[in-house]
Amino acid sequence: MPTRSSDVLVIGGGVNGLACAARLAAAGCKVVLLETTGKVGGGAGEREFAPGFRAPALAHLTQGLDSRMVDGMGLARHGLVFHPPLATTVVSATGDHLVVRGGQTTGPDAAAWAALQAKLSAFARVLAPFRQMPPPRLSGQNRWPGLARQALGIRTLGRANLRELLRMILINVHDVAEDELTDDRLKGLLAFDATLGAWLGPRSPNSLILYLDRLARGEGSLLPKGGMAALAAALGRAAESAGVRVRTTAAVQQVLVEGGRAVGVLLADGEEIRSGLVVSAIHPRTTFHGLVGAAALDAGFYRATGHIRSRGGAAKLHLALRDAPDFRGADLRSRLVIAPSSEVVEAAFNPVKYGEVPDSPVLEAILPSAHEPGQAPEGAHVLSAIVQYAPHAPRAGLSAARAALLEAALGVLEAHAPGLRGLVSHADLLMPQDIEARFGMVGGNWHHGELAVEQMLFNRPQFGAAHYSTPVDGLWLAGAGSHPGGGINGAAGWNAAGALLEARA
Ligand SMILES: Cc1cc2nc3c(=O)[nH]c(=O)nc-3n(C[C@H](O)[C@H](O)[C@H](O)COP(=O)(O)OP(=O)(O)OC[C@H]3O[C@@H](n4cnc5c(N)ncnc54)[C@H](O)[C@@H]3O)c2cc1C
Quickly state the pLDDT bin for 147 (edges 50, 70, 90): low
The answer to whether the beta carbons of residues 31 and 278 sit under 8 Å apart is no
The secondary structure of 179-194 as a DSSP string is HH---HHHHHHHHHHH
Give the CB-side neighbour count of residue 464, counting CA atoms within 13 A.
15
Residues 68 and 131 in one domain: no
Indicate whether 302 belongs to any domain.
yes
Residues 71 and 21 in one domain: yes
Q: At what angle do helices 207-216 and 110-131 cross, to 10 degrees?
A: 80
Residues 305 and 446 in one domain: yes
Q: Does residue 150 have a pLDDT over 70? A: no
- Residue 121 CA to ligand 1 centre (angstroms): 27
Give the 3-state DSSP-derived string for 87-153, with helices as H, strands as E and coil as C. CEEECCCCCCCEEEECCECCCCCHHHHHHHHHHHHHHHHHHHHHHCCCCCCCCCCCCHHHHHHHHHH
Residue nearest to atom 51 of ligand 1 (CA): 446
Name the residue of 20, 35, 316 to mutate for ligand 1: max ligand atoms within 8 A of Cβ: 35
Helix (H, G, I), strand (E, B) or coil at 2: coil
Please tell me if the CB atom of residue 486 comes closer than 6 angstroms to any atom of ligand 1.
yes
pLDDT tens-place string over residues 347-374: 999 999 999 999 999 999 999 999 998 9
Please tell me if the CB atom of residue 248 comes closer than 6 angstroms to any atom of ligand 1.
no
Indicate whether 408 belongs to any domain.
no
Please tell me if the CB atom of residue 59 comes closer than 6 angstroms to any atom of ligand 1.
yes
Indicate whether 356 belongs to any domain.
no
- Judge residue 179's burial from the number of C-beta atoms within 10 Å of its C-beta, 0-12 exposed, 13-18 middle, 19 or more buried: exposed
Residues 152 and 295 in one domain: no
- Residue 244 CA to ligand 1 centre (angstroms): 20
Please tell me if the CB atom of residue 441 comes closer than 6 angstroms to any atom of ligand 1.
yes
Please tell me if the CB atom of residue 314 comes closer than 6 angstroms to any atom of ligand 1.
yes
Cα–Cα distances in Å, from 423 out to 1, 55, 250, 416, 420?
A: 56, 17, 40, 14, 5
Residues 235 and 201 in one domain: no
- Boundary of a domain, candidates 186, 217, 248: 217
Lowest mean pLDDT among 72-81, 123-132, 267-276: 123-132
Indicate whether 201 belongs to any domain.
yes
Chain centre distance of CA 15: 10
pLDDT tens-place string over residues 307-362: 999 999 999 999 999 999 999 999 999 999 999 999 999 999 999 999 999 999 99
The secondary structure of 375-416 as a DSSP string is SSSTT-EEEEEEEE---SS-TT-HHHHHHHHHHHHHHHHHHH
H-helix or E-strand spanning residue 258: strand 252-258
- Positive or negative torsion for Cα 292, 296, 302, 308: negative
**Could you tell me how many helices (H) and strands (E) the chain has, helices first?**
17, 16
Report the C-alpha gap between 433 and 457 in whole angstroms: 27
pLDDT tens-place string over residues 381-405: 999 999 999 999 999 999 999 999 9
- What percent of the chain is modeled with pLDDT above 90? 89
Residues 109 and 181 in one domain: yes
How many structural domains does the chain have?
Answer: 2
Indicate whether 163 belongs to any domain.
yes
Residue nearest to atom 8 of ligand 1 (CA): 59
Q: Provide the pLDDT for residue 152.
A: 63
- Boundary of a domain, candidates 185, 217, 249: 217
pLDDT tens-place string over residues 395-449: 999 999 999 999 999 999 999 999 999 999 999 999 999 999 999 999 999 999 9
Indicate whether 258 belongs to any domain.
yes
Atom of ligand 1 nearest to the CA of 478: 26
Atom of ligand 1 nearest to the CA of 479: 26
- Residue 222 CA to ligand 1 centre (angstroms): 17
Residues 197 and 113 in one domain: yes
Domain membership of residue 187 as a residue range: 103-217
Residues 36 and 69 in one domain: yes
Indicate whether 285 belongs to any domain.
yes
- Residue 231 CA to ligand 1 centre (angstroms): 13
- Residue 412 CA to ligand 1 centre (angstroms): 27
Residues 212 and 231 in one domain: no
Q: Provide the pLDDT for residue 5.
A: 67
Q: Provide the pLDDT for residue 158.
A: 86
Indicate whether 130 belongs to any domain.
yes
Residues 65 and 132 in one domain: no
Report the C-alpha gap between 17 and 15 in whole angstroms: 6
- Residue 439 CA to ligand 1 centre (angstroms): 7
The answer to whether the beta carbons of residues 314 and 196 sit under 8 Å apart is yes
Give the CB-side neighbour count of residue 505, counting CA atoms within 13 A.
8
pLDDT tens-place string over residues 202-237: 999 999 999 999 999 987 789 999 999 999 999 999
Give mean pLDDT, residues 172-179: 98
Residues 69 and 115 in one domain: no
Residue nearest to atom 52 of ligand 1 (CA): 446
- Boundary of a domain, candidates 196, 217, 238: 217
Residues 153 and 241 in one domain: no
CATH of the domain at 25: 3.50.50.60
Report the C-alpha gap between 154 and 162 in whole angstroms: 7
Residue nearest to atom 15 of ligand 1 (CA): 487
